[in-house]
Amino acid sequence: MKTTSVKAKALHALIWIFLILMAVIIIVPFYWMVVTGFKGNAELYNNPVGLPQEWKFENFITAWKVGVGRFFGNSLLVTLSSTFLSLSLSSACAFGLSRFQFKGRNVLFMIVLAGLLLAPQVAIVPLYRILSALGIYNTYLAMIVPYVAFNIPFTTFLIRAYLLDFPKDIEEAAVIDGCTTFRIFTQITLPVSKPILASAALLAVMNFWNEFMMAMIFTSDNSIRTIPLGLSTLKGTLSTDWGSMIAGLVLAAVPVIVLFITFQKQFVRGMTAGGVKG
């Protein structure tokens, strides 16, 4: 018994040590980035790790004015639009696949899941030709359409798994009362699916906000580019102002971090709820 107890405590201690090391690995670079965003070039080289002697808030103002503000707005538009469309289409698809019995349902679900096997890099050339043929290359739609298309398979899979484990009693009672399928979906299914929708939305936002490759290939006008790509173009503008450049990185990272911290409970609840039988 004592040997088992000692082993359990040792394993518990090792787990805590591992988690602490992982936290340090994540927190230290972020701390350095935030602190450096308030420094001037001279202090950045002379005191790279410590707190700044003079907090230069103007670094953030400079970064915002030279382009981060415009890129931030573009990212906000593309991310919110893509997330809304992705959740709307995926939840409707998941509702149909989980609630209706029809011939070929499993085949259709496998076709949807097959989208997970397609790497975006493989589809770049066909997508470029399609977007050019549709006349939406170098527009916001050139980013929104591929983002939504590649996000639908995973989001559908996630929501469907949640709905399969959720009791159908309320929906069946609504059918008896004469409720239409659309009303059941919008007034019953979606409200009870808030945890998984919040999880799917958070994953989608993080993915769309940080996406770089498609934004780079499918746009050529700097005025519509999103913040990951826009920050790479600031290297020439702020080539000698490292403090302002790093301040731009902080501005790009903060929204997603704040969003995750705010909704982390809903995220965990949504990701674990699908594994609990109703």
Q: Token pair of 49, please?
A: 């790790």
d(CA 32, CA 28): 6
> Looking at the domain assignment, is residue 61 inside a domain?
no
**Residue 75: how many CB atoms within 10 A of its CB?**
24
Band (222; pLDDT cuts 50, 70, 90) = confident
> Looking at the domain assignment, is residue 165 inside a domain?
yes
pLDDT over 90 at 249, yes or no: no
What confidence tens digit (pLDDT) does each residue in 13-47 have? 899 999 999 989 988 888 888 888 888 888 888 88
- Core vs surface per residue 111-129: b (16+ CB within 10 A) or e: ebeeeeeeeeeeeeeebee
Band (274; pLDDT cuts 50, 70, 90) = low
Given a contact cutoff of 8 angstroms between Cβ atoms, the answer to whether 251 and 63 are in contact is yes
d(CA 88, CA 177): 26
| Number of domains within the chain | 1
End-to-end Cα separation, the chain, in angstroms: 38
> Looking at the domain assignment, is residue 90 inside a domain?
yes
> Looking at the domain assignment, is residue 4 inside a domain?
no
> Looking at the domain assignment, is residue 138 inside a domain?
yes
Query: Which residue type is seen at 70?
Result: R
> Looking at the domain assignment, is residue 50 inside a domain?
no
Q: What's the mean pLDDT when you consider all of the chain?
A: 85
Radius of gyration of the chain, Cα coordinates, nearest whole angstrom: 24
Q: Token pair of 226, please?
A: 């999103």
**Residue 237: how many CB atoms within 10 A of its CB?**
15
Task: Provide the residue range defining the domain that includes 240.
Answer: 71-273
d(CA 70, CA 223): 7
Q: Token pair of 163, please?
A: 């709905």
Between 63 and 240, the higher pLDDT residue:
63
What confidence tens digit (pLDDT) does each residue in 164-203 have? 887 777 777 877 878 888 888 888 888 888 888 988 999 9
Given a contact cutoff of 8 angstroms between Cβ atoms, the answer to whether 80 and 148 are in contact is no
pTM to 2 decimals? Answer: 0.84
Band (84; pLDDT cuts 50, 70, 90) = very high
> Looking at the domain assignment, is residue 60 inside a domain?
no
What confidence tens digit (pLDDT) does each residue in 129-138 have? 999 999 999 9
Between 239 and 23, the higher pLDDT residue:
23
Query: Which DSSP helix (H) or strand (E) runs through 9?
Result: helix 2-36
> Looking at the domain assignment, is residue 41 inside a domain?
no
d(CA 85, CA 201): 11
- Which CATH number does the domain housing residue 104 bear? 1.10.3720.10
Q: Among 28, 67, 31, which Cα is nearest to 236's?
A: 67
